[in-house]
A = this chain, B = another copy of it.
Amino acid sequence: MAPQNELRRNEVAVAWANHVDAGLAFIGVIRTPWATRAECPHHGDPEGPVCRIEVDAPWDAALDGIETIERLEVFYWLHEARRDLVRQSPGGNGLTKATFTIRSPVRPNPIGTSIVTLVAREGPVLHVRGLDCVDCTPLLDLKPDRSHFRADPSR
Whether B26 contacts A21 by the Cβ 8 Å rule is yes
Whether B138 contacts A97 by the Cβ 8 Å rule is no
Whether A63 contacts B100 by the Cβ 8 Å rule is yes
Question: Given that A19-B25, A22-B24, A111-B140 are contacting pairs, would A86 and B98 also be in contact in the complex, using a CB cutoff of 8 Å?
Answer: no
Of A2-10, A31-39, A102-110, the stretch lying at the interface with chain B is A102-110
Chain B residues near A141 (CB, 8 Å)? Answer: 100, 107-109, 111
Tell me how many residues of A have a C-beta within 8 Å of chain B.
Answer: 53
B-contacting residues of A (Cβ < 8 Å)?
12, 14-16, 18-27, 43, 58-59, 61-66, 68-69, 72-73, 75, 77, 79, 86-87, 97-103, 107-109, 111, 113, 115, 138, 140-144, 146, 149
Please, how many angstroms separate the alpha-carbon atoms of A138 and B98 in the complex? 21
Give the number of times this chain occurs in the complex, counting copies: 2
Chain B residue at smallest Cβ distance from A145: B103
Majority secondary structure, A binding face: mixed
Whether A143 contacts B103 by the Cβ 8 Å rule is yes
Please, how many angstroms separate the alpha-carbon atoms of A59 and B85 in the complex? 9
- Picked from B25, B87, B97, B115, the residue with its CB within 8 Å of the CB of A146 is B115
Chain B residues near A64 (CB, 8 Å)? Answer: 87, 98, 101
Chain B residues near A143 (CB, 8 Å)? Answer: 100, 102-103, 107
- Picked from B22, B65, B86, the residue with its CB within 8 Å of the CB of A101 is B65
Please, how many angstroms separate the alpha-carbon atoms of A7 and B65 in the complex? 21
Chain B residues near A72 (CB, 8 Å)? Answer: 100
